[in-house]
């Protein structure tokens, strides 16, 4: 079942994984504007596999964003476009700063704050759109006991519960990577566990479209 109706608008929000070099101030559907990440691939796959949908994609990622940053700019950067669909992939920077800059407390976003932020984002958005899709954070490390990965799993589980509570759709991109990491070492997909090369972005795009019920074999 295809989630998307024709002639609709999808805003994809997030951090540097979403941003991926997009144009400023607004990255509308001119392909070169969408950056080099999964939003550009989602757009390209849609126009190749489902040209009938004629969807408009807007990339609203901003590098370095935590869930706190995203909350602040949500109205202006996401809702002001009156989107039909919204996706959101946030949280990796909430966690990352706790590991690479352990003493910069003001740049950490702990689990509870993350949950509060995300709850606000989801609860205010779901009523205004046809569907909201929450993409899991992805940390390319197959060992679930590794501390960074463990915290990512914790945050993702929290986000998934909020989806259930408010009727958002959870896209488990992390699970898609786990499957890929049965065949490849993490450094095949990323150099720093976080920023994917094109093949990694394709994993996210494919996971997103599959969850949305889009067949790529059309």
Task: Name the residues that contact its own copies, by CB under 8 A.
Answer: 7, 9, 28-32, 34, 40-41, 43-45, 47-49, 51-52, 54-56, 96, 99-104, 143, 146-148, 176, 179-180, 182-185, 187-189, 191-193, 197-199, 201-203, 205-206, 210, 215-217
Write the CB contacts of 104 (distance below 8 Å, at least 6 apart in sequence): 97
Place of tokens 């488990």: 172
> Rounded to whole angstroms, how far apart are CA atoms 81 and 146?
39
CB-nearer residue toward its own copies: 32 or 164 = 32
The beta strands (E) that lie in 33-114 are given as 56-61, 85-89
Q: Could you tell me the smallest distance in angstroms from the CB atom of residue 83 to its own copies?
A: 12
What minimum distance in Å lies between the beta carbon of 60 and its own copies? Answer: 16
Task: For the CB of residue 122, give the shortest distance to its own copies in the complex, in Å.
Answer: 26
Q: Which of 52, 75, 100, 192 is catalytic?
A: 192
Write down the least CB distance from residue 58 to its own copies, Å.
Answer: 10
Alpha helices in 87-211 (DSSP H): 92-100, 111-125, 147-166, 173-180, 186-189, 198-211
From the CB of 149, what's the least distance to its own copies, in Å? Answer: 11
With a CB cutoff of 8 Å and minimum separation 6, the contacts of 161 are: none
User: Which is closer to its own copies, CB of 101 or CB of 167?
Assistant: 101
The catalytic residue among 108, 193, 195, 201 is: 195
Q: Please, which residue, 167 or 191, has the CB nearer to its own copies?
A: 191
Among residues 16, 67, 136, 207, which one is catalytic?
Answer: 16
- Spatial separation of the C-alpha atoms in residues 116 and 122, rounded to whole Å: 10
Is 195 assigned a catalytic role?
A: yes
- Round to whole Å and give the CA distance between 85 and 143: 33
Q: Which two tokens stand for residue 14?
A: 């997030």
User: Would you say 106 or 127 has its CB closer to its own copies?
Assistant: 106
Note if 43 is an active site residue.
no
Choose between 119 and 178: whose C-beta lies nearer to its own copies. Answer: 178
Question: Is the CB of residue 59 less than 8 Å from the CB of residue 12?
Answer: yes
| Active-site annotation holds for 123 | no
Query: The dihedral of CA 81, 86, 92, 97: what is its sign?
Result: positive
Which residues are annotated as catalytic?
Answer: 16, 192, 195
């Amino acid at each position: 079942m295809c989630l998307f109706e024709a002639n609709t608008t999808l805003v994809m929000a997030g951090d540097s994984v979403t941003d991926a070099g997009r144009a400023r101030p607004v990255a509308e559907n001119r392909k070169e504007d969408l950056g080099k990440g999964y939003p550009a691939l989602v757009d390209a796959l849609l126009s190749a596999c489902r040209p009938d949908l004629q969807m408009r994609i807007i990339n609203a990622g901003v590098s370095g964003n935590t869930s706190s940053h995203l909350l602040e700019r949500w109205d202006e950067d996401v809702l002001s476009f009156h989107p039909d669909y919204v996706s959101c992939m946030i949280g990796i920077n909430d966690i990352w700063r706790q590991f690479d800059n352990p003493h910069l407390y003001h740049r950490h976003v702990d689990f509870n704050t993350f949950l509060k932020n995300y709850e606000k984002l989801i609860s205010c958005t779901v009523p205004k759109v046809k569907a909201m899709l929450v993409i899991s954070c992805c940390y390319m490390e197959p060992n679930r006991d590794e501390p960074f990965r463990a915290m990512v799993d914790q945050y993702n589980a929290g986000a998934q519960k909020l989806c259930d509570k408010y009727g958002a759709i959870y896209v488990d991109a992390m699970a898609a990577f786990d499957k890929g990491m049965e065949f490849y070492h993490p450094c095949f997909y990323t150099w720093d566990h976080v920023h994917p090369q094109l093949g990694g972005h394709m994993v996210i795009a494919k996971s997103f479209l599959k969850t949305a019920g889009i067949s790529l074999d059309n």
